[in-house]
């Protein structure tokens, strides 16, 4: 996600996931916000995202951030989500490698193409 990310952007992403024929709610989520400059979203909207996500409560989530503003808002999401679901499965990461490592996913090697 890039530039200023809104509540509607998040809802659109969740709907696209839910509609995808290969979507599995148990899959780990990796959300890349390194190119986002800001998240235009309220705490009530974060609550809505948490309540409406099609992703299983126990599925791990790694969110990669690129600046302090986005990091602060994502941390609010992390704490709200943990409080609402009692599942500490969200990690705020500073790099793609950190996210892959935390999720236990082997990085895709693009040099093989």
pTM of the prediction? 0.89
On whether residue 45 sits in a domain, the answer given is yes
Number of separate domains in the chain:
1
Cα–Cα distance measured from residue 48 to residue 9, given in angstroms and rounded to the nearest whole number: 13
* CA–CA separation, 72 and 92 (whole Å): 10
Give dist(CA 53, CA 31) in Å, integer.
13
Is position 8 within any domain? no
pLDDT digit string, tens, across residues 37-64: 999 999 999 999 999 999 999 999 999 9
Q: Is residue 16 part of a domain?
A: no
In a domain, residue 18? The reply is no
Mind giving me the DSSP string for 2-29? EEEEEHHHHHHHHHHHHH-TT--TTS-E
pLDDT of residue 113: 43
pLDDT for the residue numbered 108: 67
Q: Report pLDDT for 111.
A: 53
Share of the chain above pLDDT 70, in %: 95
Asked whether the predicted pLDDT for residue 74 surpasses 50, the reply is yes
Q: Is residue 60 part of a domain?
A: yes
Q: Is residue 74 part of a domain?
A: yes
Domain span at residue 78 reads 27-105
Considering the domain boundaries, does residue 10 fall inside one? Answer: no
């Amino acid at each position: 996600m890039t530039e200023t990310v809104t509540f509607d952007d998040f809802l659109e992403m969740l709907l696209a996931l839910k509609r995808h024929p290969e979507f599995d709610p148990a899959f780990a989520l990796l959300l890349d916000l390194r190119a986002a400059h800001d998240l235009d979203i309220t705490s009530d909207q974060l609550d809505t995202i948490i309540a409406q996500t099609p992703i299983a409560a126990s599925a791990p989530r790694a969110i990669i951030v690129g600046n302090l503003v986005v990091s602060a808002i994502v941390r609010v999401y992390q704490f709200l989500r943990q409080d609402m679901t009692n599942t500490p499965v969200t990690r705020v990461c500073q790099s793609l490698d950190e996210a892959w490592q935390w999720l236990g996913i082997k990085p895709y090697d693009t040099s093989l193409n």
